[in-house]
Amino acid sequence: MKPSPEARLASRRAFSGRVVSVDVDTVRAPDQSTIELEIIRHPGAAAVVPILGDPADPDPLVLMLRQYRYAAGGTLWEIPAGVLQRGEEPLACARRELAEETGARAEHLEHLTTVFTTPGFTDERIHLFWATGITVGEATHEPDEFIEVRAEKLSSVLEMIRRGDVADAKTVAALLYVAGFRLNK
């Protein structure tokens, strides 16, 4: 879903960075008024829930990351994820990030859903996947990634979500999706 081209009356680039850009768009609102919006442009991302062992297990192990996030003021529990490279398909990104961040390879990756992260100010979408048939290997973290990889029972991770210990939106959405729609079919 993209904004209708007739809604945008003008756009100017206010900032261009390594990952995001900021545009100031003049937009025709639904009530026909004219408003100015600051929009963060993002290339999109992919995230993956890696399930260890048999996906028919009602309480499988999930590979989780404890990752330092400066913007969040510390570490967060997350699933592997990363930004789409120019021209990269979401499935390829999910495979790449799984390998880089956990060292794991997946025999099967399946698309779950695609979500907007914060549609009030960014066009970023994250494509959510789950992975099965996992073979664990050596992670190759980027220099700016500080990651601890841990295998946790899904029931434990769901309890962490309930308590608020897992607060990363993509992680919460993907894990609840897997628990509600994939493992309990």
Tell me the pLDDT tens digit for each residue of 20-33.
999 999 999 999 99
- What is the C-alpha to C-alpha distance for residues 22 and 152, in angstroms, rounded to an integer? 38
Q: How sure is the predictor about 87, in pLDDT bands with cuts at 50, 70 and 90?
A: very high
**Angle of helix 154-163 relative to helix 169-177, nearest 10 degrees?**
130
> Over 70: is that where the pLDDT of 55 sits?
yes
Q: How sure is the predictor about 5, in pLDDT bands with cuts at 50, 70 and 90?
A: low
Predicted local confidence at residue 139, as pLDDT: 83
Q: How many domains does the chain have?
A: 2
Residue 2 is assigned to a structural domain of this protein: no
Are 147 and 97 contained in the same domain? Answer: yes
> Over 80: is that where the pLDDT of 3 sits?
no
Predicted local confidence at residue 185, as pLDDT: 59
Are 31 and 84 contained in the same domain? Answer: no
Q: Residue 151's domain spans which residues?
A: 45-182
> Tens digit of pLDDT for each residue in 7-23?
999 999 999 999 999 99
Helix (H, G, I), strand (E, B) or coil at 35: strand
Helix (H, G, I), strand (E, B) or coil at 116: strand
Are 37 and 68 contained in the same domain? Answer: no
Alpha-helical segments (H) within the chain: 90-102, 154-163, 169-177
Task: Give 4's DSSP letter.
Answer: -
Residue 62 is assigned to a structural domain of this protein: yes
Are 157 and 93 contained in the same domain? Answer: yes
Pairing outcome for strands 125-135 and 45-52? parallel
| Cβ–Cβ under 8 Å, residues 22 and 38 | yes
- What is the C-alpha to C-alpha distance for residues 98 and 89, in angstroms, rounded to an integer? 14
Q: What mean pLDDT, rounded, does the chain reach? A: 93
Phi-psi region of 80 (alpha: psi -120 to 50; beta: other; left: phi over 0): beta
Provide the whole-model pTM.
0.92
| Cβ–Cβ under 8 Å, residues 46 and 126 | yes
> Over 90: is that where the pLDDT of 137 sits?
no
Residue 95 is assigned to a structural domain of this protein: yes
43-69: average pLDDT:
94
Are 76 and 159 contained in the same domain? Answer: yes
Are 99 and 162 contained in the same domain? Answer: yes
